[in-house]
Amino acid sequence: MSDSPATGHAVIQSCLRTLDASPGVYRMLDAQARVLYVGKARNLRARVASYARPSGHSARIARMIAETASMMFLTTRTETEALLLEQNLIKQLKPVYNVLLRDDKSFPNILIAKDHPFPQIRKHRGRRSTKGAYFGPFASAAAVNRTLNQLQKVFLLRNCADTVFQNRTRPCLLYQIKRCSAPCVGHVSAEEYAALVADAERFLEGKSTRIQAELAAQMQEASEAMEFERAAALRDRIRALTAVQQSQGINPRGVAEADVIAVHLERGQACVQVFFIRANQSWGNRDFYPRTGSGAEEPEILEAFLAQFYDDKPPPKLILLSHPVENRDLIHELLSARAGRNVELRVPLRGEKAELVENAARNARESLARRLAEGAAQSKLLAGLAEALELDAPPRRIEVYDNSHIQGTSAVGAMIVAGPEGLVKSQYRKFNIRGTDLTPGDDFAMMREVLTRRFERLLKEDPDREGEAWPDLLLIDGGAGQVSAVAGILADLGVDDVPVVGVAKGIDRDAGKEEFHRPGRRPMALRMNDPVLYFVQRLRDEAHRFAIGAHRAKRAKATAATPLDEVPGIGAARKRALLAHFGSAKAVTRAGVTDLMAVPGISEATARTIHDFFHPAG
Output the pLDDT for position 396.
92
Which of these ranges, 191-205, 228-242, 447-461, 492-506, has the smallest mean pLDDT?
228-242
pLDDT at 618 > cutoff 50: no
Residue 232 or 430, more confident = 430
What does the alpha-carbon distance between residue 39 and residue 534 come to, in Å, rounded to a whole number?
A: 44
Angle between helices 79-93 and 298-309 (to 10 degrees): 90
Residues 369 and 357: beta-carbon distance below 8 Å: no
The H-or-E segment that residue 398 falls in is strand 398-406
> CATH class for domain 398-558?
alpha beta
Phi, psi of 338 (to 5 degrees): -70, -35
pLDDT tens, position by position, 577-608? 888 888 777 888 888 888 888 888 888 888 88
CA atoms within 13 A on the CB side of 502: 21
> Please, which pLDDT band fits residue 249 given cuts at 50, 70 and 90?
very low
What does the alpha-carbon distance between residue 382 and residue 422 come to, in Å, rounded to a whole number?
A: 10
Integer angstrom CA distances of residue 123 from 133, 160, 404: 12, 12, 30
Output the pLDDT for position 167.
84
List where CATH 1.10.150.20 sits in the chain. 563-614
List where CATH 3.30.420.340 sits in the chain. 257-369, 398-558
pLDDT tens, position by position, 475-520? 998 888 888 888 888 888 888 889 999 998 766 555 557 889 998 8
Residues in the chain: 618
Is it true that domain 9-97 has CATH number 3.40.1440.10? Answer: yes
Helices (H), 29-140: 44-52, 59-67, 79-93
Count CB neighbours of 467 within 10 A. Answer: 11
Residue range 220-237: mean pLDDT, rounded: 77
> Please, which pLDDT band fits residue 54 given cuts at 50, 70 and 90?
confident
Shortest CA distance to 416 belongs to which of 433, 402, 399? 399
Output the pLDDT for position 473.
93
In angstroms, how far is CA 42 from the centroid of its own chain? Answer: 33
Residue range 567-571: mean pLDDT, rounded: 80
pLDDT at 323 > cutoff 90: yes
Shortest CA distance to 51 belongs to which of 7, 90, 1, 87? 7
Output the pLDDT for position 1.
41
> Please, which pLDDT band fits residue 298 given cuts at 50, 70 and 90?
very high
DSSP summary character for residue 376 = H
Residue range 137-154: mean pLDDT, rounded: 83
Residue range 334-348: mean pLDDT, rounded: 93
Output the pLDDT for position 240.
67
Residues 263 and 298: beta-carbon distance below 8 Å: yes
Output the pLDDT for position 104.
61
pLDDT at 609 > cutoff 60: yes
In angstroms, how far is CA 298 from the centroid of its own chain? Answer: 24
Share of the chain above pLDDT 90, in %: 33
Output the pLDDT for position 557.
65
Output the pLDDT for position 435.
65
> Which of 130-134, 223-227, 316-320 shows the highest mean pLDDT?
316-320
Q: What predicted TM-score, i.e. pTM, was given to this entire model?
A: 0.70
Residue 251 or 452, more confident = 452
pLDDT tens, position by position, 382-416? 999 999 998 989 999 999 998 876 554 567 888 99
Which of these ranges, 14-28, 210-224, 253-267, 279-293, has the smallest mean pLDDT?
210-224
Output the pLDDT for position 471.
92
Is it true that domain 257-369 has CATH number 3.30.300.10? Answer: no
Residue 616 or 370, more confident = 370
Output the pLDDT for position 417.
93
CATH topology classification for 563-614: DNA polymerase; domain 1 (1.10.150)
Give Cβ neighbours of residue 170 (< 8 Å, ≥ 6 apart): 185
Output the pLDDT for position 4.
58
Output the pLDDT for position 383.
93
What does the alpha-carbon distance between residue 475 and residue 435 come to, in Å, rounded to a whole number?
A: 23
Average pLDDT, the chain: 85
What does the alpha-carbon distance between residue 64 and residue 294 come to, in Å, rounded to a whole number?
A: 9
Residues 287 and 363: beta-carbon distance below 8 Å: yes
